[in-house]
Amino acid sequence: MPGIDSYSLDNYGLDGPSFVYPDYATGSFTAGSNFQDFTMDDGFPLNFRGFIVTGLSFRPKKIVVRNTNKQLAFLAYDSATASGVPNADGTSFSLALYGLVYSGRDFRMMRIREYSGNPMANTYGYVTPSSFNLPCPGLNTDVMIWEAFG
């Protein structure tokens, strides 16, 4: 009687779905003093520390930034929040929630431009197919950890 091996099970799809690892990247940085104007949900600019991540092999769909020095400081981006469709001029946007709970309850929604290629010069708050620029939820000596999911 022939035996059953994983090769024959895989050929007939009987061994279950093949797991595909999602795109993921992580890193850390010190907040610094690089201030940039980010656009709030109401269309007005507000000055925050910013940071840029480049060299990703995927377009992030979700990004989480957390402050290791203050547990209740964070930034959360989700590409589905405003149905932003990436385009060349970045006129479409999604939203990010910026929260600073340790200094009173300060929650802000920010526009994050969705670019299909490279961002336009002097643009702050964006996601591209291989990079992003987001506001930093911390002070100049705070250490941040970011995670990007494709």
Lowest mean pLDDT among 3-7, 62-66, 110-114, 125-129: 3-7
How far is Cα 85 from Cα 94, in angstroms, rounded to an integer?
8
- Output the pLDDT for position 30: 92
If one compares 21 and 79, the residue with the highest pLDDT of the two is 79
Over pLDDT 90: what percentage of the chain?
43
- Output the pLDDT for position 15: 57
* Average pLDDT taken over every residue of the chain: 84
| Confidence category of residue 122, pLDDT binned at 50, 70, 90 | confident
Residue 20 backbone dihedrals phi, psi, to 5 degrees: -110, 125
Mean pLDDT of 74-84: 85
> pLDDT tens for residues 13-35?
555 666 677 899 999 999 888 89
| Confidence category of residue 108, pLDDT binned at 50, 70, 90 | confident
| Confidence category of residue 90, pLDDT binned at 50, 70, 90 | confident
Residue 1 has pLDDT above 50, yes or no: no
Residue 62 has pLDDT above 90, yes or no: yes
Question: For 58-61, which contacts have Cβ atoms below 8 Å and span 24 or more sequence positions?
Answer: 58/23, 58/25, 58/129, 58/130, 58/148, 58/150, 59/86, 59/127, 59/128, 59/129, 59/130, 59/150, 60/25, 60/127, 60/132, 60/148, 60/149, 60/150, 61/149, 61/150
Residue 115 and residue 128 in contact, taking contact as beta carbons nearer than 8 Å: yes
